[in-house]
Amino acid sequence: MSSSDTEPRVLSTTTVDTRSLQHLAALVRTPESETIDVVAPATNESIGAVPNCSKASVGRAVERSRRAQKSWKQTSISERSAIINRFADLVLERQKWLLDLVQVETGKSRTDAVEELLDVPQTCSYYAESVTDELTPTVRRGALPPATTAKVVYEPVGVVGVISPWNYPLTLSVTDAVAALIGGNTIVLKPDEKTPFIALALCELLTEAGLPDDVFQVVTGEGAVVGSKLIDTVDYITFTGSTETGRVVAARAGENLIDCSLELGGKNPLIVLDDADIETAARGAVQACFTNAGQLCLSTERLYVDESVFDSFISEFIGATRRLTLGTETTFDAEMGSLINQKQLDRVESHVSDAVTHGAEVLTGGRRRTDIGPFCYEPTVLTNVTETMQVATEETFGPVVSVYSVSGVTEAITKANDSMYGLNASVWSKNQDRAQTVASQLDCGTVCINDGYIAGWAAVDTPMGGVKHSGLGRRHGPEGLHRFMEPKTVATSQVGPITAPAFLPNAWYIHGLIALTRIQRRIQSLSKQMGSHRRLR
């Protein structure tokens, strides 16, 4: 475990031009003079400040957004898509600036910063290409065909509030917003107060791409003030963060009778079956456990390894973990960066200390590394972990994983599902059919086979989200677009009111409706049988 072979270039206030940060802070439209300092995790030094918005400022931003939405929803889908595609191009063109900004605000490695940057243009391309098909009105069966017809049209919900987290501030500040924008909604974004500058940079790029004024706004400040006012005034709220805060968001959304989507915590399991390629599984587990120093909602925190391959897997996994390079430089040499702040470091140390006190063994790691950065902590592997320990059931959200030996696949599945969370899981096996069978029995929103999380996260055509206490709703895929749309049914009668004609007695009309219902059911049954026959052929 070491810093890079050469002296690392530590992130500091000189990494990003402070004048550019002042320019970004000025994008927040508020009269308040009170500010919040933003601190670089790599140095624990202030890099700038952003306004601490009041509830009144948030309310005004939502009012501007509501006015802007009236014209934005009338903008053609092709024009909205073109703006989103230009924005994606700008993200790739300004990648160095954005990567520097992500690193200075989060302390993550350059490689991890690239991972989230690439998610943005991929998501933009997907929705720009698919939105026309997804939002084209669809014809449905009418009540009394052919006398009546029906179709479904899709309309934007209105003003969408986005509350984004600090761990992946580039992609999670904008990819949900992209789906909402392309559907004709407007956005008011509340970034985490620890990472506001990247959100403001994205706002500037959207404006440069041609997005009209007030269609995408950023309000900065404390969650209890800004977030609560946002939920009280918007038409839809999407939140990414802890399960504890997610419950508060959901309750407040319920009070306002608005819909919400929540991606929350995880205690994600990784299962190594007895026929897995051990070297590959160990390498994949390192990535799954320690990307962004474990500060990833999809990160693995529990490893269940078949007892027949446990020793060989542990040997490979510990070796690969010890070879990881820690650092805070802006080159690609460091593989794992810093934790976000002292609070997160305290949580990691508390979980490890509690585990060791109650009998767990540290196989590698278990130390903070202030020689590399004030909040750096070694990737840590624990064994002999029991259910009474905090680390066994609580989300650590740091570079700590517990490894368990299991007697077989049944025990692995049972233990993997024994959690209040259900976000992501990973299964490793050379037998694809066997792995698919295991995947079907895991209680979670996404299962990756022979990969930790990227295969699922980067599949932007598929929905991503959690079950149980890991959240509500889905991002990505058609589902990630339709959550921001209201389906409206437009039904048309070709024969006037669906009621008895003046010349027909009511009793005859009722008998006729009953007979027609029987005929319709028979026709539907025959159509289904014929469809099944065609599929069999």
Catalytic residues: 263
**Spatial distance between the Cα atoms of 199 and 12, rounded to a whole number of angstroms:** 20
Whether the CB-CB separation of 259 and 472 falls below 8 Å is answered with no
Question: What tokens appear for 497 in the block?
Answer: 């009111």
CA angle 130, 132, 135 (to 5 degrees): 105
Question: What tokens appear for 185 in the block?
Answer: 């909604």
The residue among 137, 98, 136 whose CA lies nearest residue 119 is 98
**Spatial distance between the Cα atoms of 197 and 199, rounded to a whole number of angstroms:** 5
Q: How many CB atoms lie within 10 A of CB 244?
A: 11
Q: Quick check: helix, strand or coil at residue 472?
A: strand
Q: Which helix (DSSP H) or strand (DSSP E) does residue 148 occupy?
A: strand 148-156
Q: How many CB atoms lie within 10 A of CB 381?
A: 26
Question: How far, CA to CA in Å, does 70 sit from each of 20, 138, 156, 210?
Answer: 32, 24, 10, 17
Whether the CB-CB separation of 416 and 271 falls below 8 Å is answered with yes
Annotate 6-69 with DSSP letters as a single string. SPP----TTTS-HHHHHHHHTTS------EEEEEETTTTEEEEEEE---HHHHHHHHHHHHHHH
Q: How many CB atoms lie within 10 A of CB 484?
A: 26
**Spatial distance between the Cα atoms of 139 and 154, rounded to a whole number of angstroms:** 12
Q: Which residues pair with 425 in a beta bridge?
A: 447
The residue among 110, 242, 219, 237 whose CA lies nearest residue 166 is 242
Whether the CB-CB separation of 366 and 380 falls below 8 Å is answered with yes
State the burial class of residue 349 (Cβ atoms within 10 Å of its Cβ: 0-12, 13-18, 19+).
middle
Whether the CB-CB separation of 271 and 435 falls below 8 Å is answered with no
**Spatial distance between the Cα atoms of 35 and 48, rounded to a whole number of angstroms:** 10
Q: Which helix (DSSP H) or strand (DSSP E) does residue 143 occupy?
A: none
